[in-house]
Chains A and B, each alone.
Chain A
């Protein structure tokens, strides 16, 4: 299974940008990079995904390295409601399942 590596935890201050890194050195050409987050006592929630180019949506931005071996999820202004576990996942072309790691626990301080 395609593997990603993320820091176990990160801290941020409210209203400051947060950059959540992910390494995926074994990525292949057709693998999509997906990010989900899980708030306490809830199911995971889709955040953003990309293949090669940087992506923006209303929740976040995704910056993908030129060699695609790493990516960064950017929350432009963290709020207390962004405190969650953030999962970086490779969607491998041959399978539909999501392979979750342990993710990054983001704490947001007021």
Chain B
């Protein structure tokens, strides 16, 4: 399977703990996106990378959130000092920058986070 993969698929943690999620994009894709989705809502953009450079961050991404893509391949999203409001599905997507404005994003299955 050469699609976008995310690990873990599910994470339960206690409030105040740190969590880290990993995303492996489609191998030839140079853009990688993180989104967050709460129940009944569409996904909300968090941040995106082109290669290893983080080019845009949403205001939703508080200081407790940090994302990295150190070698321009996989990416990690860390949440420090988790809060119950962080409970959501965290989605990763990848795309190729070479397709211009008709660019298609391919999503992974998501990591569902529950903060107790």
Contacts and interface: CB of A to CB of B under 8 A. Distances in A.
A and B from one assembly?
A: yes
Interface of A: 30, 32, 34, 42-46, 49, 51, 85, 87, 91, 93, 95-103
Interface of B: 4, 31, 33, 35, 40-45, 48, 55-56, 58, 91, 93, 95, 101-110
Contacts of B31: 96
B33 A97 contact: yes
Contacts of B4: 43
Nearest to A1: B45
Closest 10 CB pairs of A and B: A100-B42, A43-B107, A97-B45, A46-B104, A44-B107, A100-B43, A43-B91, A43-B110, A43-B109, A32-B101
B56 A96 contact: yes
Given A42-B109, A102-B41, 20 more contacts: A30-B101, A32-B101, A43-B91, A43-B107, A43-B110, A44-B91, A44-B107, A46-B104, A46-B106, A51-B102, A95-B56, A96-B31, A97-B48, A97-B56, A100-B42, A100-B43, A100-B44, A101-B42, A102-B42, A103-B42
A3 B102 CA distance: 18
Most buried by A among B40, B42, B43, B109: B42
Given A43-B91, A43-B109, A43-B110, A99 B104 contact: no
Contacts of A101: 42
